[in-house]
Amino acid sequence: MPERRTVALVTLGCARNEVDSEELAGRLEADGWELVEDAEAADVAVVNTCGFVEAAKKDSVDALLEANDLKGHGRTQAVVAVGCMAERYGKELAEALPEADGVLGFDDYADISDRLQTILNGGIHASHTPRDRRKLLPISPAERQDAGAEVALPGHAPVDLPEGVAPASGPRAPLRRRLGTNPVASVKLASGCDRRCSFCAIPSFRGSFISRRPSDVLGETRWLAEQGVKEVMLVSENNTSYGKDLGDIRLLETLLPELAAVDGIERVRVSYLQPAEMRPGLIDVLTGTDKVVPYFDLSFQHSAPAVLRSMRRFGDTDRFLDLLATIRDKAPQAGVRSNFIVGFPGETEEDLAELERFLTGARLDAIGVFGYSDEEGTEAATYEHKLDEDVVAERLARVSRLAEELVSQRAEERVGETVRVLVESIDDEDGAVGRGEHQAPETDGQVLLTSSEGLSVGRIVEAKVIGTQGVDLVAEPLECAEETAR
């Protein structure tokens, strides 16, 4: 009988990392590893790191050190780093953090079982040497699909088709294993990014943009529905570019109705949209397709033209407000969220005032605000006219206060609306909690239901908003209201 091998996956960062972790889990389980939830119960703790900004990198290092502390006190024998930070720094991370028994890059994912077994046996697998992953794929998007078969693309594992089964004949199993029971799951639509935002290092370690085949996205969605998933969220570095390497930049408009038609799926949500790439047809599909929620995760980053040009981005306050007006003309209750960077090199008080003008007029449901800091390897790190750290901190605090006030006001505007709530948890302490169509997981607040009677996790219920708690809504299920009226 083979020796029992246990592994725990600790995931940090974004929803894309969550998909990657579930792919790793699928590969490991297929090779006989037993997946456990707690690192202290695992022979190997695999930490899927985030390498986006300094705060995220610190969290990743802390998670690795925390897992390392388990060694000698329980079952844990090895701690291994994977993910964006491991890919981005490779040997440098391994040398700086000897507590990690292995630092594995994306190229190791296909052989993750062998890599972990080597480390568990006391062997050493050489940490990879980081490289610019944009250079692994052709410059021309049209030539990338064939080349992509030879490049490690986390989250792009092919969907398995049983022998003799036609592509449209039913659910197909991806190389993925769910690590939770939440009725929501992310599906990777693409990987990488062709944009060259001056503050962002992601393309260098995630690579150039490459789409997944629609058949694989559909197959994975069908499989997730079989697992009890009710909402799928499409994730990538830039969903608005989907299909450009497949010869059809409007492929997302075709794919979304097909995903919404999958049996068992009640909601399809699209994240990570670029304002400069939004097009009328996509807005129409997002606002007018049954089960596709009118939700717009728009990456504005700023609204002052001079700052946006320095960021190598496009747009301005009035164009962005016009885009939001177009969306709300078609779907008045549409949800909109965005992130912003303040204190960018060269940002003036006038630029900041322009951003505040945009935020005040935009009526966003969720706002993330970050203070600028240099990211190694980015163009912005070489810019002159850097602002003092105390100035950046002051502007961050100022805009964060405004953002908190504005999203609370936006929540209050929704009092009296009827929202469709996906119930995600029910317990004695918090009661029934879920999310409306305008709220994405983790980032956009939630709906606190006044009654859990007759409800279950995964059910969608219509509820009337009767109050707010900051960005969160308080809502009464209409079924309960009807019973009270009787």
What is the mean pLDDT of the segment spanning 101-126?
Answer: 91
Q: Higher pLDDT residue, 170 or 122?
A: 122
- pLDDT grade for 343, boundaries at 50, 70 and 90: very high
Find the radius of gyration of the CA atoms of the chain: 23
Smallest Cα–Cα separation from 108: which of 20, 212, 235, 34? Answer: 20
Smallest Cα–Cα separation from 457: which of 428, 423, 421, 434? Answer: 423
What is the mean pLDDT of the segment spanning 149-158?
Answer: 82
Q: Are residues 371 and 458 in the same domain?
A: no
Q: Are residues 348 and 434 in the same domain?
A: no
The answer to whether position 133 is within a domain reads: no
Q: Are residues 426 and 444 in the same domain?
A: yes
Q: Are residues 272 and 383 in the same domain?
A: yes
Last residue of a domain, one of 106, 128, 150: 128
Smallest Cα–Cα separation from 217: which of 245, 190, 193? Answer: 190
Q: Are residues 248 and 209 in the same domain?
A: yes
Expressed as residue numbers, the domain containing 389 is 141-413
- pLDDT grade for 210, boundaries at 50, 70 and 90: very high
User: Taking each helix axis from N to C terminus, what angle separates 112-120 and 15-30, rounded to the nearest 10 degrees?
Assistant: 70
Q: What pLDDT does 171 receive?
A: 59
The answer to whether position 113 is within a domain reads: yes
Rounded Cα distance, 368 and 349, in Å: 20
The number of folded domains in the chain is 3
39 is written with which tokens?
């690192």
User: pLDDT at residue 483 above 50?
Assistant: no
Q: Are residues 431 and 408 in the same domain?
A: no
The answer to whether position 146 is within a domain reads: yes
Q: What is the pLDDT of residues 256-271, one digit of tens each?
A: 999 999 999 999 999 9
Task: Compute how many other C-beta atoms are within 10 angstroms of the C-beta atom of residue 359.
Answer: 23
User: pLDDT at residue 105 above 70?
Assistant: yes
User: pLDDT at residue 136 above 80?
Assistant: yes
| 197 in a known ligand binding site | yes
| 480 in a known ligand binding site | no
Q: Are residues 400 and 424 in the same domain?
A: no
Q: Are residues 204 and 246 in the same domain?
A: yes
428 is written with which tokens?
């004695």
What is the mean pLDDT of the segment spanning 186-193?
Answer: 94
User: pLDDT at residue 353 above 90?
Assistant: yes
Local structure of 347: helix, strand or coil: coil
The answer to whether position 486 is within a domain reads: no
CATH number at residue 300: 3.80.30.20
Tokens 């992953």, located at residue:
133
Around 101, how many Cα atoms within 13 Å sit in the side-chain half-sphere? 23
Q: Dihedral of CA 231/232/233/238: which sign?
A: negative
Last residue of a domain, one of 413, 430, 462: 413
Q: What is the pLDDT of residues 25-50, one digit of tens each?
A: 999 998 999 999 988 889 999 999 98
Rounded Cα distance, 484 and 472, in Å: 24
DSSP 38: S
User: pLDDT at residue 482 above 60?
Assistant: no
Q: Are residues 389 and 437 in the same domain?
A: no
Contact predicate 100/94, CB 8 Å: yes
Q: Higher pLDDT residue, 305 or 161?
A: 305
pLDDT more than 70, % of the chain = 95
What is the mean pLDDT of the segment spanning 51-66?
Answer: 81
Q: Of how many residues is the chain composed?
A: 486
What is the mean pLDDT of the segment spanning 381-397?
Answer: 97
The answer to whether position 1 is within a domain reads: no
Local structure of 150: helix, strand or coil: coil
Tokens 């995931």, located at residue:
11
Rounded Cα distance, 165 and 202, in Å: 38
- Phi/psi at 84 (nearest 5 deg)? -65, -40
Contact predicate 179/143, CB 8 Å: no
CATH number at residue 79: 3.40.50.12160
Quote the Cα angle for 112-21-338, to 5°: 145
Q: What is the dihedral of CA 59, 156, 206, 140, to 10 degrees?
A: -170
Sheet of strand 335-342: strand arrangement? 295-297, 335-342, 366-371
Residue 238: alpha-carbon gap to chain centroid: 11
Rounded Cα distance, 433 and 450, in Å: 9
Rounded Cα distance, 405 and 420, in Å: 25
Q: What pLDDT does 160 receive?
A: 67
User: pLDDT at residue 437 above 60?
Assistant: yes
Smallest Cα–Cα separation from 366: which of 333, 339, 343? Answer: 339
DSSP 390: H
Share the mean pLDDT of the chain: 91
Local structure of 115: helix, strand or coil: helix
The answer to whether position 136 is within a domain reads: no
With a CB cutoff of 8 Å and minimum separation 6, the contacts of 420 are: 436, 437, 460, 461, 462, 463
The answer to whether position 69 is within a domain reads: yes
With a CB cutoff of 8 Å and minimum separation 6, the contacts of 343 are: 371, 372, 387, 391, 392, 393, 395, 396
Q: Are residues 369 and 357 in the same domain?
A: yes
CATH number at residue 457: 2.40.50.140
Q: Are residues 380 and 437 in the same domain?
A: no
Outline where DSSP puts E strands in 154-304: 159-160, 173-174, 184-188, 190-191, 210-211, 231-235, 267-270, 295-297
Q: Higher pLDDT residue, 166 or 393?
A: 393
The answer to whether position 483 is within a domain reads: no
Q: Are strands 418-427 and 431-435 parallel, antiparallel or unpaired?
A: antiparallel
What is the mean pLDDT of the segment spanning 431-437?
Answer: 95
Smallest Cα–Cα separation from 371: which of 302, 444, 285? Answer: 302
Last residue of a domain, one of 366, 398, 413: 413
397 is written with which tokens?
């605090």
Q: Are residues 371 and 286 in the same domain?
A: yes
What is the mean pLDDT of the segment spanning 376-385?
Answer: 94
Q: Higher pLDDT residue, 174 or 459?
A: 459
